[in-house]
Amino acid sequence: MRIHARGDAARLDGVLELVAFAAKPCPLATSLDELPRRIASIVRADVCSIYLLEGDDLVMRGNVGFPPTALGEVRLVVGEGITGTAVECMRPVTTAHATQHVNYLHFPSLGEERFPIFLAVPVAGAQGPLGALVLQRAKEPAFDEREIELAAALTAPIAAAAERAHLREALRGERRTTPGGGTRRVTLPARPVFAGSAVGMVAAMRRPASRPAPGEKPSRKRSIEALDAAITHANNTLVTLVARARAQSLDHSQLELVRTIVADGRLRERVLELVDEGKSLSIALQTVGGEAAREAARTGVGMLEDRAREISDVCEALAMLCEPDRRGAIPRGAVLVGDRLTAFDLLVTAQAGLAGIALSEPVTTDSARTMLGLLGVPAVAAVSGLFKWVADGDLVLVDGDHGFLRLNPSRAEVSRVRASHKL
């Protein structure tokens, strides 16, 4: 009889340590960081990537060997590329010259041509494929049969981590709550926009009320004071953000446009005309925004329509700043959720002390990315099923590193995020 002591075989030690790690439930983000590192060490690979199947897309969610920006951004469909072929066939695929393979799909941002020795293994779940494990080397030897068998066995903890995260049920759009009324833990896949993790209560941005608040109508003098104070506040916010954007060499043209609208004396004059006609300050501001939108719509000119939307956003932001609505206030440390970030959101939330941001729509322009970046918090976009699963007051974890929004994170997940902020 022989007891195989620690140190007798590095690969055996690595496998046993990975099995011990996989036996302990842990946050999906931890698994996606730890498993590639451990598997790469066991198989002696320069690159190890974990792809998860999200709808029709295989998305890189875990990796060692490539830049962190690849997570959530490198995507292919089943059957596409060597990795997609492995998932389509549900069998391992290997090649010693990946770039020469007929199914090779090149991602310029990765520089993966440096690692031509390629092994892709499908990750199987109880109801079908869950993703793929991809291993790459820069130099010989090619992956042999024993390594392929080992890699296939090492997909089991990946499958367990993905199943525990309930990714599949989130993508199927199942019920938000259990039949007994308890709230489920679900991981919603997204695209990472700004790195970092944050935990907070969900706060959806509310627009100003479309009807005047009950009570005595303020005097013209008080309305002027409130409007001028709101304009000053908005302008000061924009001056600070523009300076920050310049310091970071970011595109600030959109911010300058918004600043021009805020400082436009004609807007102020028109609002006060409507106040003199008997409208409340908030309704007067919203009326001006509506007038701009209707005028632009009549022209049918896209550029004018875009500017009208900015004017409407500025007017509604000034309305919120003039007559703050406590129901619409964003609590400090909240996670802001919405379809997209607009000038309205920026002006109202820039000083709210947000913890993170989650958007249902993708970020497609440099100006939108700049606005998100200037808020300086972890952010994800294109969140799958955001409004089907998330509501005001829910506790969520924004994972801007891997591209996830975790509904009702565990205590361990919350503790991990808070501990990382203290470092």
Q: Which segment of 61-75, 109-123, 197-211 scores lowest on mean pLDDT?
A: 197-211
HSE-CB of 354 using CA atoms within 13 angstroms: 31
pLDDT at 212: 60
CATH code of the domain in which 357 resides: 3.50.30.10
On the question of pLDDT at 179 being above 50, the answer is no
**Three-state helix/strand/coil letters over the chain:** CCCCCCCCCHHHHHHHHHHHHHCCCCCHHHHHHHHHHHHHHHHCCCEEEEEEEECCEEEEEEEECCCHHHCCCCEEECCCHHHHHHHHHCCCEEECCHHHCCCCCCCCCCCHHHCCEEEEEEEEECCEEEEEEEEEECCCCCCCHHHHHHHHHCCHHHHHHHHHCCHHHHHHCCCCECCCCCECCEEEECEEEECCEEEEEEEECCCCCCCCCCCCCCCHHHHHHHHHHHHHHHHHHHHHHHHHHHHCCCCCHHHHHHHHHHCCHHHHHHHHHHHHCCCCHHHHHHHHHHHHHHHHHHHCCHHHHHHHHHHHHHHHHHHHHHCCCHHHCCCCCCEEEECCCCHHHHHHHCCCCCCEEEECCCCCCHHHHHHHHHHCCCEEECCCCHHHHCCCCCEEEEECCCCEEEECCCHHHHHHHHHHHHC
pLDDT at 324: 60
Give the span between the Cα atoms of 226 and 221, in whole angstroms: 9
pLDDT at 302: 78
Per-residue confidence at 304, pLDDT binned at 50, 70, 90?
A: confident
Mean pLDDT (whole number) for 330-343: 88
Lay out the sheet containing 404-407: strands in order across.
186-189, 404-407, 395-399, 197-204, 335-338, 356-359, 379-381, 191-194
Name the nearest CA neighbour of 344 among 241, 418, 234, 265. 234
Per-residue confidence at 178, pLDDT binned at 50, 70, 90?
A: very low
Out of 15-29, 141-155, 174-188, 196-210, give the one with best mean pLDDT. Answer: 141-155
Boundary of a domain, candidates 307, 327, 347: 327
Residues 271 and 228 both lie in one domain: yes
Residues 64 and 154 both lie in one domain: yes
Residues 255 and 398 both lie in one domain: no
Q: How high does pLDDT run on average in the chain?
A: 86
Q: What percent of the chain is predicted at pLDDT more than 90?
A: 45
pLDDT digit string, tens, across residues 230-243 = 999 999 999 998 99
Residues 156 and 92 both lie in one domain: yes
pLDDT digit string, tens, across residues 263-289 = 999 999 999 999 999 888 888 998 998
HSE-CB of 67 using CA atoms within 13 angstroms: 11
Question: Counting Cβ atoms within 10 Å, is residue 226 exposed (0-12), middle (13-18) or buried (19+)?
Answer: middle
Mean pLDDT (whole number) for 186-193: 92
pLDDT at 180: 34
- Does 212 fall in a domain? no
Name the nearest CA neighbour of 91 among 132, 44, 147, 40. 132
Mean pLDDT (whole number) for 219-224: 85
Length of the chain: 423
pLDDT digit string, tens, across residues 364-409 = 888 888 888 888 899 999 998 898 889 888 999 999 999 999 999 9
Per-residue confidence at 183, pLDDT binned at 50, 70, 90?
A: low
pLDDT digit string, tens, across residues 352-375 = 789 999 999 999 888 888 888 888
Residues 323 and 405 both lie in one domain: no
Name the nearest CA neighbour of 199 among 354, 396, 380. 396
Boundary of a domain, candidates 304, 327, 350: 327
Out of 91-105, 123-137, 286-300, give the one with best mean pLDDT. Answer: 123-137
On the question of pLDDT at 25 being above 90, the answer is no
Give the span between the Cα atoms of 229 and 231, in whole angstroms: 5
Residues 135 and 258 both lie in one domain: no
On the question of pLDDT at 173 being above 60, the answer is no
CATH code of the domain in which 290 resides: 1.10.274.10
Strands 356-359 and 335-338: parallel
Residues 245 and 141 both lie in one domain: no
Residues 155 and 18 both lie in one domain: yes
Look at the chain and report how many structural domains it folds into: 3
Give the span between the Cα atoms of 348 and 1, in whole angstroms: 72
Per-residue confidence at 217, pLDDT binned at 50, 70, 90?
A: low
Mean pLDDT (whole number) for 27-38: 91
Domain that holds residue 200: 186-205+330-422
